[in-house]
Structure 1
Amino acid sequence: METLRERKKRRTREALLRAALELFTTRGYERTTVDEIAAACDVSQRTFFRYFAGKEDAAFAMQERAQALFLAALRARPPHEPPMEALRQAVLEGWDAVRSNLESVVPVDLYLRMYRTIESTPALLAAHLRRSTAAEETIARLLAEREGVDVDADPRPRLAVAVFGGVIRVTERQWCTGRDCSLEAVRKLTVSYLDQVTSALKGNWRSA
C-alpha cells in the first residue's frame, strides 16, 4: 500500500509533469525553462531534478509509461500465440490500459497535444526517433526470447518489430491529425491498420 510520503512524491511528480506538458504545448519546448516548470508548481529547480533528468525526460514521460504498459502486456501473452498476433494483442491491451494509467496523470487531450509538439519540434522529433529505435530493439529481443530464437542470427524478430513499429507510427500520426482524439479512435485505427498489413505488403495495389 502506498505510504503518505510515497503519495506526496507521486503527486509532486505528476504536478510537475502536467505543468511541463502544458508549457511545452503552449509556449513551445525550446522556450520553456526548467525554472518556469518548477515555478508553475511552486517548487524549486532542485525539486524538479529529483524527478526528471531534464526537459526531455519530462517531455517523453507519458510515452515511456505507455511503452511500459505495452511491454508488460507482451510478456503476459500466451506462449503459443504467433509473434505478430502477440504484438497485435499487446498493443490493443496497452491502449485499453492507457485510460486508467494515463488519464489518471494527464488528460488525453494534453497527451495528444504533446504528441503534436514532439512531431513539430526538431529536437524532440530526433529524440523520439532515437528512443523509438531503442524501444524496437528491446521489443525484438523480448520477441526473440519468447520464441526461443537468437535475435542476432535470426532476422525475423527485428523484421517483425520494424513492420509493427511502422504501422503504429502511421496510426499515431493519423490519430493526432484527425478530428477524433479519443482513445477509442486510436484503438480502432490500430485494428484497421494492422489488419491491412498483410494485404498491403503482398497484394496488388492497382485496382483491376
Structure 2
Amino acid sequence: MTGSTPQATRRETVWTRGGDASTGAVTGAPSPGGLRERKKQRTRDALIRSALELFTAHGYEETTIDEIAEAVDVSQRTFFRYFASKEEVVFAVQEMVEARFIEELERRPSAEVPLEALHNAVMTSWDEIGDAIRTVIPLELHMRTYRMIESTPALVAAHLRRYSELEEQIARLVARREGLDVAADPRPRVVVAAFSGVMRVAGKVWGEGEDVSVESIRRITEEYLAQIVPAVSGDWPRRGA
C-alpha cells in the first residue's frame, strides 16, 4: 500500500505468503516448490503456536528463543529464518487480523462515509477472522495472548507503537477513498484516531472480562463503536433524567 512503513509492508505480506502450486497435468500432484512452501508454513505456524503457549504459560520475558525452538525440534538458526525476534512472534497472528481488516476496508463501497466504512470493515472482519486464526492457533490461545500482551509492559509499548503505524496506514487509506490529501486535511487522521481509541477501550474492557470468545469481543466492539457519534455530538442524557 502507498505510504506503508516497513512494518506495515510486512503486515500486508502475511496474506500472500506461501501460495501452493500444482502441476495440474495428469495426477494433479503438488510441485516440489508447493511442498516446500507448505513445509515452511507448517514450521512457521508451529513456532508461533509453541511460542505463544510458552509466553502465556511462563511469561514473555522468562521464555527464551532456545526454548521455543526446542519445543518445535528446530535450531535457533531456523527460528531466525522466520522471525527476527520474540516480539515479532507475539504479534504474528495479530498481523493476520490487521491485514484482514485492511483488506475489508479497501473493499467497502465508496458510498459509505469513513466512520461507517471503518465500523463495517471491523465487524465483517470479526465475522470471518476466526477461521483464519484457527489455521495457525486455537482461538482460545489467541485470546490468552491478547491478555498476556496487555499485562507485559514491554509488549504494551510495542503494541502502541505498532498501533500508531497501523493508524497512519488506515488514515492514508481513508484519505485515498475520499480523494483527500492526508497531509493537508486532518479529518482522515481525526476519524481514525477516534475509531482506534474506541477499539482500544473495547479491547481493554473485553480483556478484563470473563468471556474470552470472539462473539464477546465482537459484541463489545459493536456496542462501543455505536457510541462514537452520540458521544462527540453531545447527545448525552442528563443525569437524573
Q: Among residues 112, 119, 136, which one is paired with 2:167 in the alignment?
A: 136
Tell me by how many angstroms 1:205 deviates: 5.5
Q: Which residue of 1 aligns with 2:49?
A: 18
Matched, 1:203 2:235: yes
> Does the 8 Å CA contact 2:143/2:213 hold for their aligned counterparts?
no
Whole-angstrom distance in 2 between the partners of 1:5 and 1:41: 18
For the aligned residue pairs, the C-alpha RMSD in angstroms reads: 1.1
Whole-angstrom distance in 2 between the partners of 1:204 and 1:147: 30
Tell me by how many angstroms 1:174 deviates: 1.4
1:57-101 deviation line (CA, Å, top 9, x unaligned) = 001111111000000000011111111110001101111121111
Q: Which runs of 5 or more structure 2 residues have no equivalent in the other structure? A: 1-18, 21-33
Q: Which residue of 2 aligns with 1:8?
A: 39
Q: Among residues 89, 110, 114, which one is paired with 2:145 in the alignment?
A: 114
Tell me by how many angstroms 1:206 deviates: 3.8
Whole-angstrom distance in 2 between the partners of 1:147 and 1:136: 16
Whole-angstrom distance in 2 between the partners of 1:82 and 1:164: 13
Matched, 1:70 2:101: yes
**Higher helix proportion, which one?**
1
What is the TM-score normalised by the length of structure 2?
0.84
Percent sequence identity is: 56
Whole-angstrom distance in 2 between the partners of 1:187 and 1:120: 21
Tell me by how many angstroms 1:132 deviates: 0.4
Tell me by how many angstroms 1:190 deviates: 1.3
Q: Which residue of 2 aligns with 1:43?
A: 74
Amino acid at match of 1:174: V
> Does the 8 Å CA contact 2:44/2:82 hold for their aligned counterparts?
yes
Q: Which residue of 1 aligns with 2:155?
A: 124
Q: Which residue of 2 aligns with 1:31?
A: 62
Whole-angstrom distance in 2 between the partners of 1:187 and 1:179: 14
Structure 1 runs of 4+ aligned residues shifted over 2 Å read 203-206
Matched, 1:194 2:225: yes
Tell me by how many angstroms 1:204 deviates: 2.9
Q: Which residue of 1 aligns with 2:121?
A: 90
Q: Which residue of 2 aligns with 1:147?
A: 178
Whole-angstrom distance in 2 between the partners of 1:6 and 1:61: 18
Q: Which runs of 5 or more structure 1 residues have no equivalent in the other structure? A: none
Whole-angstrom distance in 1 between the partners of 2:221 and 2:158: 24
Amino acid at match of 1:179: E
Whole-angstrom distance in 2 between the partners of 1:105 and 1:175: 22
What is the TM-score normalised by the length of structure 1?
0.97
The structure number with the bigger radius of gyration is 2
Whole-angstrom distance in 2 between the partners of 1:32 and 1:152: 42
